[in-house]
Chain A
């Protein structure tokens, strides 16, 4: 086999292994440090011991006090884990969406799913919608809203028989605006200033709802499954990201495949938004970074983007908790603040590298 061919495959593979190792280690470190930081600081070594004790039973001898144990295990770890899952999930949904519509500005919220979730959340907060679900009323009605939004987008997008990328984009934007208006109307109609504030807080995203409970488990299952499906089915994403015609000639029916992806991504984003509100920019910026690291083959981009998104979101949450402590800033503000300049730099680079064309 020619050297150039081997290099064209193997070099990327080596690069990816290296990045996955670095990012994997980075994520472990991030989790330990993030769990340790907050209003009460806890040494990383203690954090590691508490987690190890709860997971494996070792070390058996407890050398830390009970409040520390509770802070690490009951309060902060579920929150950090939710951050990991939401970051990873938003990043890979961004990757899938950018391949589906072949637009570098596509992000998971383009499909109007977050607007739907927001309407659901607003209905729950302001009017007690979904009260039958007790403490899970908020995430439940948010998910219901997301579901309705994605169903609408889906139905409109396929009304012409074919789900083209342009039709998908347009229906996503239209449904998004309509539901945004619905949310604003709900806030206006309720006339409650306190309620409006909570809705606003929720809209900007927060990981504050994280507990060791069923919703967290659902998020974990969905995100892990989505990562696996997108990674191991990466070849078809590659074909689709080149073009519909290319996908077709390689035996991938572009319309049918896009439809399946739409269902998968809607489900994943819907679950994420109902657990954490709308956190912007992660799904937009991280895929670009991942592609810069390991090229565009999705079998490599998806896992790298997942790790990168997880690390990024957990740090954003640390900043959100620490910056104005004890008050907490919505995490969406942090990700947007960090993401916007990032995107500008990327755009500059993008134009610089293809300036000849």
Chain B
């Protein structure tokens, strides 16, 4: 379980996140939603320690994140970031195998077991056939799946993803999030698309104006009365066969 209490971050004098509490519970998918600039990605980065909050604290399975050595924190938190490594000439297999880094000491070679894990994770994201290809030559969707495979190979207890559906075709958006939902780990996902959040997240945190506007189960948070003022758009909610669907329409200018 990842638990953040009273964390903050500011860029210059501009507070993006101000005294926020978040909890990612075991075996559930937590979605971070909110309009552009509401600090979704900043909050995620605070949760895995790429940014260090001056206030409050983040704990992972009861231990304070900042007290964990880097290797140990990477064994607990696997992260899929939006950083593709542009010119790298690694093959896909080599890229996924890098996920084993936190489990190996600096000068230790990857064992047969490490290769087996990497291969299994690549199969799991439906990319086993890509193993021998250069990573740089893949399409955006293929890259995203390979990066998820690398995160899976870390065998961490938590998986954090920053907009994993970016650059993906609609089919792969659903495939990726389905996969995240099936994992035995708890997951935290930054999402833009509220309908994807509605379908695949168990809990949601809605950010706006530097703080948490609403937090709770997906059903509780996706309330048009809560969402409309934050996003500044008209929202109609349809509950069909137990699934939540949101329809959007521009608000009429009062003037």
Q: Which residues of A line the B interface, CB within 8 A?
A: 1-9, 11-12, 104, 232-233, 235-236, 238-239, 241-243, 245-246, 248-253, 291, 295-297, 354
Contacts and interface: CB of A to CB of B under 8 A. Distances in A.
B70 A252 contact: yes
B87 A246 contact: no
A232 B131 contact: no
SS of A interface (majority): helix
Contact of A11 (B71, B116, B119, B132): B132
Contacts of A242: 83, 85, 88, 98
B73 A251 contact: yes
Nearest to B94: A297
Interface string B62-73: 000000001111
B85 A8 contact: no
A8 B83 contact: no
Nearest to B89: A296
Contacts of A7: 93, 131-132
B214 interface: no
A11 B130 CA distance: 14
A316 B122 CA distance: 46
Contact of B106 (A6, A104, A233, A249): A233
A8 B122 CA distance: 12
Contacts of A232: 106-107
A250 B49 contact: no
Interface of B: 48-50, 70-75, 77-79, 81, 83, 85, 87-94, 97-99, 101-102, 104, 106-107, 110, 115-116, 118-119, 122-123, 128-134, 136, 151, 154
B81 A245 contact: yes
A352 to B, nearest CB: 14
B131 A5 contact: yes
Nearest to A246: B83
Contacts of B89: 291, 295-296
Contacts of A243: 81, 83, 85
B150 to A, nearest CB: 8
A235 B99 contact: no
A249 B77 contact: yes
Contacts of B154: 250
Nearest to A250: B101
Contacts of B99: 250
Contacts of A295: 89-91, 94, 134
Nearest to B134: A295
10 contacts: A1-B119, A2-B123, A2-B131, A4-B129, A4-B131, A9-B93, A9-B97, A250-B101, A251-B72, A297-B94
Contacts of A5: 93, 115, 118-119, 122, 128, 131-132
A297 B87 CA distance: 13
A295 B97 CA distance: 15
A11 B92 CA distance: 12
Given A235-B104, A236-B101, 17 more contacts: A1-B116, A2-B119, A4-B133, A5-B131, A7-B132, A8-B131, A12-B94, A236-B106, A238-B90, A245-B50, A249-B81, A250-B98, A251-B71, A295-B90, A295-B134, A296-B90, A354-B136
